[in-house]
Structure 1
C-alpha cells in the first residue's frame, strides 16, 4: 500500500525523506522560500540544519496537486546530534539504558560503523519534528508576504505559520516494508499470543505502545472476573441477595490490577529508555495568547498571560458551564425514567412479546443519547479549555481531561447510581447496565471498525483509479508522489485521549456495578479483543503516521483509573450493605448496618492506601539499575572536575 523510496532508505540521491511539510497552495512565494531556507540553514545561522526538497519541482503532476509540498530529512550526523540534544536513551554495551552522546557512541550496543540503522525511522522523524518546532524568529517582525502574521524574537515559526493557515500540515511518512511486517504480526492473523509491543514502540513510539500495552493488560486482567462471572450469571440469575462474594472479589480485583500495571509499565518504560529520561522544558502551546514579555525562566520574549485572569475564566465560566451540563444530563436522565415507567406500565397492563421488547427501547434510546451528548460536550470542552488560554500543553490536557471525565462519568453512570441507591431496583439496574454497555459497544464498533474500513477501501479505489490514468499498466510499487498524496488525505490521529476515555468508561461499568450483571466483564473482554484489531487496522491504514513521543507511563489516566477504583470500593460496599443476605444480620437496627458498612468501606480504603505504599511502583531490580547509573554519573562528574581543576 505504502511505498518507502528504495531499499537503501533514500531516493537515490543520498536524501532520505522523513517528514512532509505542506503549505497552503496559495501561500506567498516569499514565505515559502523563507521557510525552506530556515529549514536548510545551519544551526549557527538560526536554521534547523536539515535537508529539504520540493516534491514537485517546477509544476505539479495534476492540477489538483499542491505545488507547495516539501520533503524534509537530515544527514546521519545531524540526526545523531539531534538524538544527543533530545537525550534519547539507547542500550549500552553492558545492557543498561543510557542517554546517547556522540562522544560515547561506540559504546552503545547497536552502533556500527557510521551509525547507519542505529536510530529507527520513528526516532529520526521525532528529531526532525523537534528541530522544526525549534525554528524561531530572530530579527524578523512578520512572516514575509504576510504583514499581519507578526513575529518577535524567540517565537516559533512553525506554530505561527500553522495558526495563520500558511502551513497546512506536517506529518511523518510511513515505511512500506516495516509497516507490512508490523501489520502481519499485529492484526492480519488471528492469534492468542501477545501484541508485538516492542515492534509497535519501534514504529510508533512509546506513547502509543503504552496504550496498546494497557489495552492488552486490561483485557487479560478481566479474564479472571469473566471466568468467575459466567457461572455466577448462569446459576444465580435471580438471586440478587448472593452477590456479596462477587462484589468482594471486585474490590480486590480493581485494586490489585492497577498496582500491578504500574510495575508492568515501569518495566516496559525502562526497557525502552524512557523511565529515567529527563523531561524537556515545555514551550508555550501554539494557541497560547498574551502580551509580549520576558519569560523569567528562559529570558526569551514570549506572550505572557496573568494567572488571575485564567483562574477567573476557569471558576466564573468553565465551572458554571460544567455544572449546567451536568444539570442537563440529570434532566435527560429523568426523562429516561419517565419513558421507562411508561413502558413498564404498558407491559404490566397487557404483557405481550411486543410490550416486552418495548421495555428495552427507553434504555437503548438513552444509551444513544448519552453517546451523542458525550460527543457534543467533548467539542464544547475543547473550545472552553482553549479559551482558558493555558500556557503549557500539559496544563491544557489536564484541564480538558478533568472536564471530560466529570461529565462522562456523570452522564454514563448517574442513572445507574439512581437505580441502585434511590430506587434500589436490582432487576432494573441489571437491565439498564446491560443495555447501556451493549449499545455503547455496538456504536463504538461501528464508528471505530466498520466506518474506518469503509473509508480505507474507498480511498484505495480512488488511488487506483488515479494510478491507472497516469500509467498503463500501473506500476508495481507506488511512487513517492502517490504515497505522499495518499497519506496527506488520511485522517490525522488526534492521540490516545478518546481511546483511554473509552477504556475508562468500560472499567467503570465493570468495577462499579458488575456484581449485579456478571457478564459485563465477558462483554468488555470481547469488546477489547475487537478493539485491538480495529485500532491496529486504523493506525496502519486509516490515520497518518503520528510522530513518536517518548512516554514513561499513561500519565493522568493512571490517576483517573485509580479514582474510579476508589469510587468502586464505596459503590460495592454500599451494594453489599443493601443485600438482603447482609440485612438479615441486622434485622432491628438499620443504623447499625450503615455504621458497619461505612466501617468496612473505610477499612478497605485504608487497605487500598496501604497497598499503594507497600507495593513499589518500580520493581526492585530496576530501582537498583537506576541507582547504579546515577552513581556512575556522579563518579564520572567527579573525575571530570578533578581533571579540569588547575594544578597547584
Structure 2
C-alpha cells in the first residue's frame, strides 16, 4: 500500500501531470513537485477557453485541433506563459477528485465529491502549496519596478504578466489614485496656509475646498473606470466575468443551457433571495452591534474624564479586548454566511465577502470620527484623530507591513543557505524550503482596504483637515514602493488571479464619494467657521435651506459628471464592437460549416 505522498503523486500522474517526490535527509517535510506536459496544458487551455493569438494577430479561444493556426504553438516552451501555466495547473488541482490510488490510503477520510487538495487542506495534511518564483523574470521585474519606476510609471504590464490581473489592477489603481491626489494636495496646502495666516479668507477657502473634494471624487472614479477599461482590454480580461466558470462549491439543479446545449447548475433567484433574507439581517445586526459597543465605550470614556487615569483606562482597555475578539468571530461568521449564499463565480463570492468584512472595518475606522464630529462636536478632537490616522498610524503600519515579511525572508534565506552547504538537500529542495519560509501573499484585500479607508478620510472630512490629501499623497508615494517590495522581495509567488476590474472596491469608493457630500455639508453647517460665520444675520431656517440646496446641487453635479463621462474611450468602444462583430461572424461561419451536408461522390464511372 503506498503512503499518502506516493498515492497523491500516482493520482496526479494518472491525470496526465508530472509529479516527483523530493525531500532532504534532515527535514521532516516532503515536497511534491508538480509540472505539466505541453499537450496537457494545451488540452487544459481548450477546456478553459483560454484565448491565444492566431498567426494573424486575432485572439481566439484555443482549440487543440487547430493548434497550428495559433502563433508560437510549435515553440513548446514559450507558447504558454508562466502565469498561464500556473493558472491552468491550479484550476486542475482544485477540481481533481481522489482516484483509486489515493483512496487506498485509509487514514484519510476521502469524499468522492470533494477534490483531493481540499481534503488534504481540511485534514491539515498540506503544509503549503505555491508556485516557484521565476528567478530571472523576478529579477527583471524588481529592477524595473523598484529601481527605475520613480522616473516613470510602474511597469504595470510586466506586473500583470508575472502576478496576474488582480494584483496588477491594484497597483494601477493605486498609481492613478496617487496621481489624482496632486491637485487636492496642493489646494489643501494653500487652504491650510490661509487658516494659519488669514482666518477670514480661510472660511471661504474651506467651503470651496470641501465642494471641490466632493466633485473631485467623482471625476477620479470616472477617470479610473476609463483607464480600467483600457487595461482590461489590453490584458484581454474585459469579458472575464461573462465567461467565468462556476465555483466547484456552487450547488443547484442541472439544467440545459439553451444557447450552448451544455448542462449547467442553476440556483433559482427565489432560493437565493430567501438566503439573503437571512444573511443580510445577520450582517446588519453584527455591524450595528459593533457600532453600539464602540459608542458605549466612547460615552463611558467621556463620562469618566474627571476620574483617576487608571479608571479612565477601563473603557479603553475593555474595548481593546473586544475589537480583536469580535473581528475574529465576525470573520468566521462572514465565511459561513457567504458560503450559505451559494455564489456562482469566484468574483461574486469575493465581492460579497469584501462587503461583509469591509463594513465592520469601516465601523472601526469611521465611527470614532463621526462621534467626535457630530455627537460631542469637538473639532479639535476630530482633527487630532484624523491627523493621527493619516500620519502616525499609516506610517507605523506601513513600516511593520514591510519589516515583518522582510525578517521572515531573512530567516528563510539563512535556512536555505544551510541546505546549500549540505550534501543532503538537492537544489530544488533548497529553493522550495527558502520560498516556503517566506510569508504568503494572501490577497490584495488588506492593501485595498487600507487605501479605500484613506480615501474616506480625505473625502468625508475635507472641511476639517485640508492637509489630508497632502498627507495621503506622501503616504502613497511610499506605499507603492513598500507594497511592491513586499510582493517582489519578501513573499512567495501568489497564484495569478484573473479579474476584469477592481470589483466591488469601486462601489465602496462610490459610496464614500456620495457620503462625502452629506458629511462635508453637515460639517460646514455645524462648525464655527462654516455657514453661520458667513451668514450671521440669516435665520437658522434660511441657513438650513442654504445647506440643503448646496447638498442637492453637489449631488446633482456628481450625477451629471457620472453620466456624461463615458465609461470607455470612444476608440475602445469601437474596437470592442468590431471584435464582437468578428466573433459573431466567426461563430456563424463555424455553425454553417458544421450544418453543411457532406457531398456524396459518385464513383460508379
Q: Offset at 1:308?
A: 8.4
Change (3 A) 1:499 1:581: closer
Change (3 A) 1:102 1:564: same
For the aligned residues, what is the CA RMSD? Answer: 3.5
Q: Offset at 1:372?
A: 8.1
Partner Cα separation in structure 1 for residue 281 and residue 273 of structure 2: 12
- The residue number in structure 1 matching 2:203 is 241
Partner SS, residue 172 of structure 1: coil
- The residue number in structure 1 matching 2:183 is 224
- Asked if 1:414 corresponds to 2:367, the answer is yes
- Do the aligned residues in 1 keep the contact of 2:130 with 2:495 (CA within 8 Å)? yes
TM-score normalised by the chain length of structure 2: 0.85
Per residue, is there more helix in 1 or in 2?
2
Q: Offset at 1:182?
A: 0.9
- The residue number in structure 2 matching 1:276 is 239
Q: Offset at 1:127?
A: 0.8
- Do the aligned residues in 1 keep the contact of 2:408 with 2:438 (CA within 8 Å)? no
- The residue number in structure 2 matching 1:25 is none
- The residue number in structure 2 matching 1:452 is 405
Equivalent residue runs for 1:156-175 within 5 Å = 156-175=115-134
Change (3 A) 1:333 1:189: farther
Partner Cα separation in structure 2 for residue 530 and residue 378 of structure 1: 28
Q: Offset at 1:377?
A: 4.2
- Do the aligned residues in 2 keep the contact of 1:89 with 1:274 (CA within 8 Å)? no
Equivalent residue runs for 1:118-133 within 5 Å = 118-133=79-94
- The residue number in structure 2 matching 1:465 is 418
Partner Cα separation in structure 1 for residue 507 and residue 329 of structure 2: 23
Partner Cα separation in structure 2 for residue 418 and residue 77 of structure 1: 62
Deviations 1:243-285 (A, max 9, x none): 1011111112111000100110110111011002343232244
Partner Cα separation in structure 2 for residue 514 and residue 224 of structure 1: 14
Equivalent residue runs for 1:537-552 within 5 Å = 537-552=485-500
Structure 1 residues without counterparts, runs of 5 or longer: 1-27, 42-46, 347-360
Q: Offset at 1:369?
A: 9.9
Change (3 A) 1:84 1:137: same
- Asked if 1:186 corresponds to 2:135, the answer is no
Change (3 A) 1:156 1:582: same
- The residue number in structure 1 matching 2:538 is 588
- Do the aligned residues in 2 keep the contact of 1:381 with 1:400 (CA within 8 Å)? no
- Do the aligned residues in 2 keep the contact of 1:385 with 1:396 (CA within 8 Å)? no
- Do the aligned residues in 1 keep the contact of 2:95 with 2:248 (CA within 8 Å)? no
Change (3 A) 1:523 1:589: same
- Do the aligned residues in 2 keep the contact of 1:381 with 1:403 (CA within 8 Å)? no
- Do the aligned residues in 2 keep the contact of 1:577 with 1:597 (CA within 8 Å)? yes
- Asked if 1:574 corresponds to 2:522, the answer is yes
Q: Offset at 1:514?
A: 2.9
- The residue number in structure 1 matching 2:298 is 333
Match 1:84 to one of 43, 46, 65: 46
- Asked if 1:33 corresponds to 2:1, the answer is no
Partner Cα separation in structure 1 for residue 273 and residue 585 of structure 2: 45
Change (3 A) 1:229 1:275: same
TM-score normalised by the chain length of structure 1: 0.80
Match 2:18 to one of 51, 57, 60: 51
Deviations 1:599-639 (A, max 9, x none): 32123223322322222222221121111111112112222
- Do the aligned residues in 1 keep the contact of 2:334 with 2:357 (CA within 8 Å)? no
Deviates more, 1:30-39 or 1:69-78: 30-39
Q: Offset at 1:564?
A: 0.7
- The residue number in structure 2 matching 1:405 is 358
- The residue number in structure 1 matching 2:106 is 146
Partner Cα separation in structure 2 for residue 610 and residue 252 of structure 1: 11
Equivalent residue runs for 1:245-260 within 5 Å = 245-260=208-223
Partner Cα separation in structure 2 for residue 541 and residue 61 of structure 1: 29
Structure 2 residues without counterparts, runs of 5 or longer: 257-261, 600-605
- The residue number in structure 1 matching 2:596 is 645
